[in-house]
Chain A
Amino acid sequence: MSALIAALLIAALVAFVVWLLSGPFRARAPVAAPADSDERRALESAKEAKYAEIRDNETDFRTGKLSDEDFRALNRQLRAEAVEILRAIDELDSQTSVPTD
């Protein structure tokens, strides 16, 4: 009896493994990476990270770890980088909505 259960278990396992892993073997057209959604996500997380950096910079300044001039210079630079990211996001958005014309 337990031998039967064991055999069924093994069969089920093998079937499961084969089913899950055989994707590339079944002649499907390779799924094109939805590059846009990927890129947009990457840009969004870069934007969040940049905002966090700007906030961190301010906290450092407020708690006396940055001198005035260092803070101002770094703040300018970080905000400029954030603007670049926002610009890239906008460009991406406008690109993906164009094909409907």
Chain B
Amino acid sequence: MTPPRKRQVRLVVSLTLAVLLASGLIYTSFASSDSALSPSQLIQQARAGENVQLTGTVVKGSVRELADGQLDFRLADRAGGGRSVRVIYSGSVPPAFEPQRELIVTGALKAGTFVAQPGSMITKCPSKYSAAPSGSSA
């Protein structure tokens, strides 16, 4: 094979490989991903048992600690208004957890209550700005 032809073949082979790998990547990302939902979206699109990442704000006055050490609270939409959903959570709780603080938990909706995976809670750093919830610097 002449050198230019060799180069062409190599280019085609490597591009094909790249496309195949990228497709595999893209497929698995859609297949194994979790939806990110807010509480109102969760209630609307509820599919029992589907693993979901829930983002919301802890409702003031709703936090209780259950006998077995689990945390029971309600999570409402970040933007306010909308409905709230009851969350049961066990495992390590970030110290920034507080009412009216924004957080993310992963889990599934079971019989109207969101059962979170242990240790899946992430809180966002509190806001220093007047209105919008935001975080600290990188």
The answer to whether any beta carbons of A and B sit under 8 Å apart in the complex is no
By a beta-carbon cutoff of 8 Å, the part of chain B in contact with chain A is none
By a beta-carbon cutoff of 8 Å, the part of chain A in contact with chain B is none
